A = this chain, B = another copy of it.
Amino acid sequence: VTGGARATGSELDRLLTLAEDDVAGRYTATVEPGWEIGHAVNGGVLLALVGKALATTFEGRRHPDPLAVSGYFLSAGQSGAATITTEIIREGRSMATGQASVLQDDPDGAPVERLRVLATYGDLARLTDEVRTTAEPPDLPDPERCLSASAGGAPGAVAAFIQRFDMRLDPATAGWALGEPSRRGVIQGWLRMADHREPDPLMLLLAVDAFPPVTFDMGIPGWAPTLELSAHVRAAPAPGWLRVRVSTRNLAGGLLEEDAEVWDSRDRLVAQARQLARVPALLA
């Protein structure tokens, strides 16, 4: 199995090029170095990978696109070989539901589960054209007036990851990068792949977890590990820049919710996601 019509030289398509195993619904992949945040592969990377595996399983069945994907993160993914198992739970006329796991071998060769997912797939092209959205896209300065997250200054632990993207942060929500977090709990900006690979539904699964953690804007440094992330893909994105807004309203009990919304170049809300994450331990 390859990425089909989408297989190109892009970094993301290389990640999403799966090999079919001899067991039906099981795939192998290679996570190249540089998809990690610190010591763990980024959660959106694992979601896109599992999303591709389920899309492949459902492909011949007229349910090519993720509509809802809920992932529970079990252990820190590493670069290297990964196995993705998929199972079809239920197939309906217009939608199908499946389960999938990402596994990697521990140093002794025993499989360790990184992520378990439930997901419902369908065909975004067959949904109605009706849109009644009261949500409004983030109001952003032009990309060239935003702060390029990849233009240097990113800490070593995230530098390689960030450079796979062209990420331009709204200066109004990037004060934390200069030591002045707004504490409003919002980070927003423009996003595309650095190699200009166009967005598609699988790339949206990456986009909902690619931004800096919203805790940075709350004045809390460190990474906020995701326990659970549920994403809804609501439309196939148009080519061009995405706009992403991450926000939180309830930091409590050492946990926080982080909401992500992703808008495409024709102002369509193409993805929504919410995750429950741990608040990083405060460094004094």
Interface residues of A (CB under 8 A from B): 67-68, 70, 72, 74-75, 89-90, 95, 97, 99, 113, 116-120, 124, 127-135, 184-185, 218, 227-228, 230, 232, 234-235, 249-255, 257, 268-269, 272, 274, 276, 279
Contact = CB atoms under 8 A, between A and B. Distances in A.
A131 B90 CA distance: 41
Contacts of A118: 70, 72, 116-118, 228
Given A249-B135, A276-B232, A130 B254 contact: yes
A274 to B, nearest CB: 5
Interface centre among A134, A185, A251, A254 (most CB of B within 10 A): A134
A97 B70 contact: no
The majority secondary structure among interface residues of chain A is: strand
Contact of A250 (B68, B129, B135, B230): B135
A118 B276 CA distance: 14
A117 to B, nearest CB: 8
A208 to B, nearest CB: 13
Nearest to A247: B134
Contacts of A68: 72, 227-228, 276
Q: Which 8 A-B pairs have the closest CB atoms?
A: A127-B253, A70-B70, A135-B249, A68-B228, A230-B230, A131-B252, A132-B251, A128-B254
Can you tell how many copies of this chain the complex includes? 2
Contacts of A218: 132
Most buried by B among A127, A218, A228: A228
Contacts of A228: 68, 70, 118, 120, 230, 232
Contacts of A131: 251-253
B128 A251 contact: no
A116 B119 CA distance: 10
A252 B232 CA distance: 12
A70 to B, nearest CB: 4
Contacts of A95: 227
Given A72-B120, A74-B90, A257-B272, A234 B252 contact: yes
5 contacts: A68-B227, A72-B89, A133-B250, A235-B253, A252-B268
Contacts of A253: 124, 127-131, 234-235
Nearest to A228: B68
Nearest to A131: B252
